[in-house]
Structure 1
Amino acid sequence: MSEWVHACATDDIDEEDLIRWNHNGKGYALYNTEKGFYATDIMCTHEEQSLEDGLVIDCIIECPLHGGRFDIITGKALSEPVYVDLKTYPTKVEDGELFVQVG
């Protein structure tokens, strides 16, 4: 069953950046982009590298290990060596707080 879980304050994430958030033993990447706040799995689908130190440009995350890129909004794999899309999670903002739908 899906539930909305408080993740952080929106001020905790700089624009065009991400932070790692752990919930129930699973890691998530939380992003602040010009189009809003988004959440994906924290691990790259290529070689299980954390995206935590990746580069966020507009709505794209670049893996720090091999440079594969994903669309933050859709999770779509955009460039080699990544071919498997990144799982995304719905987010919402209420009173300056970010919530992620997990489950």
Structure 2
Amino acid sequence: MSWKVLCNVDDVPINTLKLFPLEGTNILVANYGQGFRAVPPLCPHMEEPLDESGWVMDCALTCMKHLWSWNLETLEKLGETEKPLLTYDVKKEGDSLLVWFEGELVYDFDEDGDDMDDDDFFS
């Protein structure tokens, strides 16, 4: 429960995402140009790995699997996005990016199966 060095700020170029391990937990870092966000590595919609399907552009993080999107500056849900993006607090100290780490952030994924599957979504 303290600030932990996660990476060097130069490790994550503008408009990119990069995954970093921290104490047995993977944390995804997004550089959106005006700052950084640290988030769990899975999309809160259907557990899609955001390091593979995530896209950062115009201050937004979009999961390209089903087009859920969030404004990385305000954390506002964009478009049809239904769930908020969980975040770890981050700060820059010199060239280092630090994260406030109390443990892994985990989404409450829909266990009822109410979410549309890919066939329903794309039909």
The structure with more radius of gyration:
2
The answer as to 2:71 corresponding to 1:77 is no
Judged with a 3 Å threshold, the aligned counterparts in structure 2 of structure 1 residues 51 and 19 are, in CA distance, closer, same or farther, namely: same
Q: Runs of 4 or more off by more than 6 Å in structure 1?
A: none
Judged with a 3 Å threshold, the aligned counterparts in structure 2 of structure 1 residues 78 and 34 are, in CA distance, closer, same or farther, namely: same
Match of 1:22 in 2: 21
Give the root-mean-square deviation of aligned CA atoms: 1.5
Quote the Cα distance in structure 2 between the aligned partners of 1:77 and 1:42: 17
Instruction: Give the SS at the match of 1:89.
Output: coil
The one-letter code sitting in structure 2 at the alignment partner of 1:62 is T
TM-score calculated relative to the size of structure 1 = 0.86
Match of 1:63 in 2: 63
Q: Which runs of 5+ in 1 are unaligned?
A: none
Match of 2:36 in 1: 37
Match of 1:99 in 2: 98
Alignment identity in percent? 30
Q: Is the 8 A contact 1:40 1:75 kept in 2?
A: no
